Amino acid sequence: MSESLSISNQEVPSALGCQVPQFSAAMTNNGQFELNHYLGKKVILYFYPKDNTPGCTTESIAFRDIHPQLLANNSVIFGISRDSLRSHEGFKSKLELPFELISDTDEQLCQLFNVIKMKNMYGKQVRGIERSTFVIDESGKLVKEWRGVKVADHAKAVLDFVNI
């Protein structure tokens, strides 16, 4: 992992400064996300556990509200979870999200970015997405990551980072 991101189940100290491998995935609005289509822009990928849950709704609304400022900073944003495209379409419509959501039902992107963790829910261990956000620069390199994100003020921290 010293030179590039790769699919791995091992704990990765950091992939900052590494080139992100080209990937594609299904997204809302009958789209296909292709990382190389966004070269020249900062790409923000936020991984969240599940559509229509309180924290994920709050986080998505916060990103919706700063979307114009992200665009003004040459940045695009995409939400990613293991939910189906159908679920994503409903979530996106309900919240009036101006950006697309990527469906990762096969967990390939979750593995690529190492965001699947064992978590405690109601006293039980469950396997799920650790809320995380990644910024890929204009040349395709990973330049910032937040893991174990707390929703409060996170969108502002992302905006502050891309504002530099």
What residues make up the domain containing 138?
24-162
Residue 44 corresponds to which amino acid?
A: I
- Pairwise pLDDT comparison (19 vs 124), residue with the higher score: 19
Which of these is catalytic: 56, 77, 101, 129?
56
Annotate 87-115 with b (16+ C-beta within 10 A) or e (fewer).
bbbebbeebebebbbbbbeeeebbebbbb
Residue 150 exposed, middle or buried by CB count within 10 Å (0-12, 13-18, 19+): exposed
Question: Is 8 among the domain residues?
Answer: no
**Considering the chain, what is the average pLDDT of its residues?**
90
Question: Is 152 among the domain residues?
Answer: yes
How many angstroms separate the CA atoms of 31 and 51, rounded? 18
Question: Is 156 among the domain residues?
Answer: yes
Q: What's the angle, vertex CA 105, arms to CA 101 and CA 107, rounded to 5? A: 100
Q: Are 76 and 70 in contact (CB under 8 A)?
A: yes
Question: Is 4 among the domain residues?
Answer: no
Q: Rounded to two decimals, what is the model's pTM?
A: 0.89
Question: Is 138 among the domain residues?
Answer: yes
Q: Given phi > 0 = left and psi -120 to 50 = alpha, else beta, which region is 67?
A: alpha
For 70-120, what is each residue's pLDDT tens digit? 999 999 999 999 999 999 999 999 999 999 999 999 999 999 999 999 877
What is the average per-residue pLDDT within 35-51?
A: 97
Question: Is 3 among the domain residues?
Answer: no
Q: Are 57 and 24 in contact (CB under 8 A)?
A: no
Question: Is 72 among the domain residues?
Answer: yes
Q: Check pLDDT > 50 for residue 161.
A: yes
18 carries an active-site annotation: no
Question: Is 11 among the domain residues?
Answer: no
CATH of the domain at 147: 3.40.30.10
| Structural domains of the chain, count | 1
